[in-house]
């Protein structure tokens, strides 16, 4: 089960805002079956599951079009209610719709996800009104983190100096705004809590307001589990909670001001960038890159701001920090670790307050790294950030992420936790003998400890799926050995039986430490070990593992990995139900509904529904709405001494990942291609006028070169060459083959001779062979037929040195 915490720490206190009306629905998601025949059974299964997800009767979406974390409401894991949603869910939605665009050629649903994100989960200027008062030379006031919730509130300490923020000015120059363009991690979609912090209003509109609404939970140290959190609105106008709203539960100050505060989950924003890259790649292969160009530009912008996750929390120098005052304030980029940290956050006074703050995070977990996003943002011209140093920062990040991966691989194959620049969240002294990575201390459970952050196998599957994708795209030899070892390890821990039975790791146990990182001579990590302590049948994690195996199998030509991935995929399909893929889960952790929630003695307040908040509060007592849930009787019986309850959940991200795994098998191994849905039965996802998917011309990305002249053949077949991106030592190119004749052709061939030393690595949608400088590309079994006036496209990634001149093409067909 997905039991991830999003540990969020704020640094300042302070705000007020005006209310405006929420716009109309952003997405209309309706069910449908694709009337056209899918190219293969797996593509059809993708379309079938996609239709279930988009069927409004199945309950995956709120009426606004925002996806829920799960169909079911009684759920506690990272969100504390099933009808909350996360930036994670938005990013999986974007990825799902990108895959739908590849299969059907319909890119409207993908563009609509970005329109919805801008309306509901990327705060508008009204939601973050005081960024113009941000002082980049003094980004935030230091507040130490503490191990337990009972150590809070944490006192602000202005004697500890923060470093300078080196990217604020260039971001404002590039985009013409001081506002942050990133997703906040958590929304109360149904306004269950009743704060009414409705997106786009910057207000606390109360229990009767429509959702989705901005909320936050985690705030108090590494030991704070979801069961110990106190929910609060992101814009705290002190209307609910205590005298100072919820602010003085977390931060100790002399006085408190009304304020807003948001937290970004970098893995989700990076996944959104990753999804946009695939949309761009697939749309380009269809000769339709323009259909997604506006959304791709938005992803590039999001990636630019995502760099805040690369910096130490208080912009202090990275490496060797052992005390708050002894860790020097950073200047320039020496406060960047160039990894994806666990969060970045920002906030400030409500309108008219005149102050704002921003923080990064000095803790990095291997499961959050995303080499596909880093590679796309640094090498693909259409996705290049507009800021002065965005592209180069992501190039540095890619190299650093690769080193991080290699540093953390255990002797067995699993990837260990991560590293921190701030031991115990207060720049403490790590234990003697702690290994380091560029001066950051190794942490086997970075960020949160209940449960330990690297014991959940999902972190392995999520993280390694991105690395397998990256290897598929680039054939980067630096990661192949890591993937070889990891796949061998995990394959020995997976079983697949009959009638849908299977088992994958669920809980891991770690011992030992990696060797201190030496880039010129990496250690063997002989003492770093991992073991599997529990196994299970988690739907979403299994899907992520399948995708890892399939990308690796295709890139490494490994039939064993392909077979295992397919067998797991087929086993999942046995568990098909009316809403998607469903496997029952026994939730012994639901005994923690009775867990006490720490509230300082003497502190009293009220939730919007009247629930009392005081030193006697429990998880359930400040969430009394759970007792009205249709499934509550199962939990109550357990709390009364009965058996642990069982639930079959349909998490949005998990169902989306299963669907994408089905489409991926079709694409990589069955030659899956585009099939157009019936106009009358297509799954629609249209954006309303108030959430237009368009962006200004200044935010659009252009390609770096113009098409080369076409080459022709005796049948009227021509081919056009275009460089999609070029980063000085490598490039991605596409070739469009067009039938200019009056009769269909059933096969085609394109040939050329390089003028320089170009070499082709991976290719797609064609069989490409090279002999010296001579290259020949022929159709595959699914794209040889081209009607009169029609066209098809293929592409490849190449390397070169010197010049990269476009070749003259020769094309023929029959």
Which one from 40, 77, 80, 88 is the annotated catalytic residue? 88
236 is catalytic: no
Going by C-alpha positions, the residue among 88, 99, 58 that lies closest to residue 650 is 58
Strand partners, 642: none
Rounded to whole angstroms, how far apart are CA atoms 71 and 74? 9
* Burial class for 84, CB neighbours closer than 10 Å (0-12, 13-18, 19+): buried
Say how far apart CA 401 and CA 370 lie, in whole Å.
8
Q: Are 215 and 84 in contact (CB under 8 A)?
A: yes
- Distant-in-sequence, close-in-space partners of 115: CB < 8 Å, separation ≥ 6: 26, 687, 688, 691, 692, 693
C-beta separation of 383 from 280 below 8 A: yes
Whether 267 sits among the annotated catalytic residues: the reply is yes
Q: Which of 97, 224, 267, 361 is catalytic?
A: 267
Non-local (6+) Cβ contacts of 158 within 8 A are 141, 142
**Euclidean distance between CA atoms 319 and 322, whole angstroms:** 9
Is the separation of the CB atoms in 750 and 733 below 8 Å?
no
- CB burial readout 134-161, b (16+ within 10 A) else e: beeebbbbbbbbbeebeebbbebeeebe
Q: Cβ neighbours of residue 70 under 8 Å, at least 6 residues apart?
A: 82, 83, 649, 650, 651, 652
**Comparing C-alpha atoms, which of 693, 687, 684 is closest to residue 26?**
687
Token pair, residue 633, equals 């009787």
β-strands 235-236, 232-233 pairing: unpaired
Name the strand (E) or helix (H) holding 393: helix 390-408
Are the C-beta atoms of 346 and 183 separated by less than 8 Å?
A: no
Q: Give the CA distances from residue 184 to residues 187, 268, 405, in Å, rounded to whole numbers and listed in that order.
A: 8, 10, 27
CA distance 737 to 743: 15
Calculate the alpha carbon distances from 250 to 152, 157, 394, 668 in Å.
6, 14, 34, 49
Residues marked as catalytic = 88, 267
């Amino acid at each position: 089960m997905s039991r991830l915490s999003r540990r969020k720490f704020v640094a300042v206190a302070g705000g007020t805002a005006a209310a405006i009306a929420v716009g109309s629905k952003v997405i209309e998601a309706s069910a449908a079956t694709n009337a056209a025949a899918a190219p293969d059974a797996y593509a059809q299964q993708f379309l079938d599951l996609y239709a279930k997800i988009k069927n409004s009767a199945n309950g995956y979406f709120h009426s606004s079009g925002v996806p829920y974390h799960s169909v079911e409401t009684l759920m506690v894991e990272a969100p504390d209610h099933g009808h909350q949603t996360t930036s994670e869910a938005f990013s999986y939605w974007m990825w799902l719709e990108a895959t739908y665009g590849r299969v059907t050629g319909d890119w409207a649903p993908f563009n609509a996800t970005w329109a919805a994100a801008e309306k509901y989960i990327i705060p508008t200027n009204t939601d973050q009104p005081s960024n113009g008062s941000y002082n980049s030379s003094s980004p935030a006031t230091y507040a130490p983190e503490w191990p337990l919730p009972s150590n809070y509130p944490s006192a602000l300490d202005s004697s500890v100096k923060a470093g300078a923020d080196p990217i604020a000015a260039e971001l404002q120059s590039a985009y013409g705004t001081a506002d942050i363009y990133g997703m906040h991690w958590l929304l109360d979609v149904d306004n269950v809590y009743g704060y009414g912090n409705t997106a786009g209003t910057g207000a606390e509109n109360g229990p009767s307001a429509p959702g989705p609404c901005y909320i936050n939970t985690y705030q108090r140290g590494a030991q704070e589990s979801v069961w110990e959190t106190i929910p609060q609105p992101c814009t705290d106008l002190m209307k609910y909670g205590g005298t100072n709203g919820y602010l003085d539960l977390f931060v100790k100050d002399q006085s408190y001001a009304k304020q807003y505060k948001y937290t970004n989950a970098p893995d989700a924003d990076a996944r959104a960038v990753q999804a946009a890259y695939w949309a761009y790649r697939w749309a380009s292969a269809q000769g339709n890159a323009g259909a997604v160009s506006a959304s791709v530009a938005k992803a590039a912008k999001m990636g630019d701001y995502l760099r805040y996750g690369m910096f130490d929390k208080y912009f202090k120098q990275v490496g060797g920090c052992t005390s708050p005052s002894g860790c020097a304030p950073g200047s320039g980029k020496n406060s960047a670790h160039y990894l994806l940290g666990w969060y970045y956050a920002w906030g400030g006074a409500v309108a008219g307050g005149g102050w704002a703050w921003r923080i990064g995070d000095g803790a990095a977990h291997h499961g959050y790294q995303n080499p596909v996003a880093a590679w796309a943002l640094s090498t693909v011209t259409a996705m290049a950030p507009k800021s002065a140093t965005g592209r180069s920062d992501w190039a540095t990040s890619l190299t650093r992420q690769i080193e991080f991966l290699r540093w953390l691989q255990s002797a067995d194959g699993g990837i260990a936790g991560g590293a921190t620049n701030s031991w115990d969240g207060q720049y403490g002294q790590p234990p003697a003998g702690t290994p380091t990575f560029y001066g950051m201390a190794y942490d086997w459970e970075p960020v949160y400890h209940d449960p330990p952050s690297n014991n959940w196998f999902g972190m392995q599957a999520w993280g390694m799926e991105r690395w397998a994708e990256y290897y598929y795209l680039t054939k980067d030899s630096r990661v192949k050995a890591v993937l070889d070892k990891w796949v061998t390890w995990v394959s020995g821990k997976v079983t697949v039986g009959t009638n849908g039975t299977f088992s994958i790791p669920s809980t891991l146990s770690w011992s030992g430490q990696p060797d201190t990182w030496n880039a010129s001579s990496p250690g063997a990590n002989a003492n770093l070990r991992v073991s599997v302590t529990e196994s299970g049948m988690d739907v979403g994690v299994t899907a992520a593992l399948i995708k890892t195996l399939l990308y690796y199998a295709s890139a490494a030509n490994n039939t064993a990995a392909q077979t295992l991935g397919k067998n797991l995929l087929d086993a999942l399909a046995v568990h098909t139900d009316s809403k998607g893929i469903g496997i029952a889960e026994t939730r012994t952790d639901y005994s923690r509904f009775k867990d006490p929630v720490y509230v300082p003695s003497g502190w009293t307040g009220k939730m919007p529904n009247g629930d009392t908040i005081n030193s006697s509060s429990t998880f359930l007592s400040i969430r009394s709405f759970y007792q009205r849930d249709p499934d509550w009787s199962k939990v109550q019986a357990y709390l009364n001494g009965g058996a642990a309850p069982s639930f079959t959940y349909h998490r949005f991200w998990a169902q989306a990942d299963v669907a994408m795994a089905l489409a991926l098998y079709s694409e990589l191994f069955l030659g899956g291609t585009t099939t157009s849905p019936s106009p009358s039965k297509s799954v629609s996802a249209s954006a309303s006028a108030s959430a237009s998917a368009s962006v200004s011309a200044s935010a659009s990305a252009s390609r770096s070169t113009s098409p080369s002249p076409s080459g022709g053949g005796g049948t009227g077949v021509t081919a056009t060459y275009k460089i999609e991106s070029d980063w000085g030592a490598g490039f991605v190119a596409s070739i469009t083959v067009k039938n200019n004749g009056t009769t269909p052709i059933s096969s085609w061939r394109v040939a050329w001779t390089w003028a320089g030393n170009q070499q082709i690595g991976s290719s797609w949608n064609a069989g490409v062979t090279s002999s010296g400088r001579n290259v020949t590309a022929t159709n595959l079994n699914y794209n040889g037929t081209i009607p009169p006036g029609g066209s098809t496209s293929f592409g490849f990634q190449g390397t070169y040195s010197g010049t990269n001149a476009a070749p003259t093409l020769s094309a023929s067909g029959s």
